[in-house]
Amino acid sequence: MKLRPRQQQILDFIASYLDKHNYPPTIREIGSAVGISSTSVVNYNLEKLEEMKLIERNREVSRGLRLLEHDSQKPEPVRGRQIPMYGAIAAGVPIPVPDDPEAVLELVAVPEDLLPRSGDTFALHVKGHSMIDALVDDGDIIVVRSQPRVETGQMAIAEILEPHPQAGATLKRFYQSGDQVELRPANPDPAYQSFWVKSDQVRIHGAVAGVLRRYL
């Protein structure tokens, strides 16, 4: 059965919406995109597409449609979930912790194999080059498991507390030595030096579990 132009338009919109969001549009979103103000008219066209076995619908939920042809042509989606992005972390000189450190700026989709097996997880945007030998560079997004302690040598989100002159949060490798903590960079450039502080002047916010990088 040949598609009418409006039905093709709806089908194309559903496909592009799925590619962009990884979930289907609502009836109202479809109508708005293709210039149909009546939800009943959108429903009629969706029923025709369903009769032609191009979509599958679940009328119990608002986004209950599946594009069958689209599904057969797409590769198996990468399993993952969205985690909160809390802002930037310095890979260099510590930066102040935000007034509301748990304010979610956005959600970031993370593949399942980059997520730790347990614990709360969040993301931070890296600013600086001090951790390049640990394969973390400026512009990367790190996946962090929230935890108050880390093992020596682990890459950690550490906050140097007041009144230290370098107070603020930084991304470094953590080393304990008696009552002192070394926050060590991973960059051979002498411009990047360790921060040495007393143990009671450091608060650990989490350990790095993975890294996301954009190349374009």
Instruction: State the Cα–Cα distance between residues 12 and 112, nearest whole angstrom.
Output: 29
Model confidence at 72, pLDDT cuts 50, 70, 90, reads: very low
Residue 123's pLDDT is what? 93
> Which CATH number covers residue 20?
1.10.10.10
- Which of 202 and 76 is assigned the larger pLDDT? 202
Q: Which of 26, 50, 73 is the last residue of a domain?
A: 73
Pick the catalytic residue from 130, 146, 177, 199: 130
Contact yes or no for 85/125 (Cβ under 8 A): yes
Instruction: State the Cα–Cα distance between residues 30 and 37, nearest whole angstrom.
Output: 10
CB proximity list for 195: less than 8 A, separation 6 or greater:
94, 160, 166, 170, 172, 182, 183
Same domain, 24 and 89: no
Q: How many domains in the chain?
A: 2
DSSP code, position 197: E
Pick the catalytic residue from 72, 118, 146, 172: 172
User: pLDDT per residue over 170-184, tens digit each?
Assistant: 999 999 999 999 999
- Which of 67 and 131 is assigned the larger pLDDT? 131
> Which CATH number covers residue 140?
2.10.109.10
Residue 60's pLDDT is what? 75
User: pLDDT per residue over 91-118, tens digit each?
Assistant: 988 888 776 766 777 888 888 888 888 8
Residue 79's pLDDT is what? 65
Residue 69's pLDDT is what? 63
- Which of 25 and 164 is assigned the larger pLDDT? 25
118 catalytic per annotation: no
For the entire predicted model, the pTM comes to 0.62
Task: Look at residue 80 and tell me whether its pLDDT is greater than 80.
Answer: no
Task: Look at residue 204 and tell me whether its pLDDT is greater than 90.
Answer: yes
72 catalytic per annotation: no
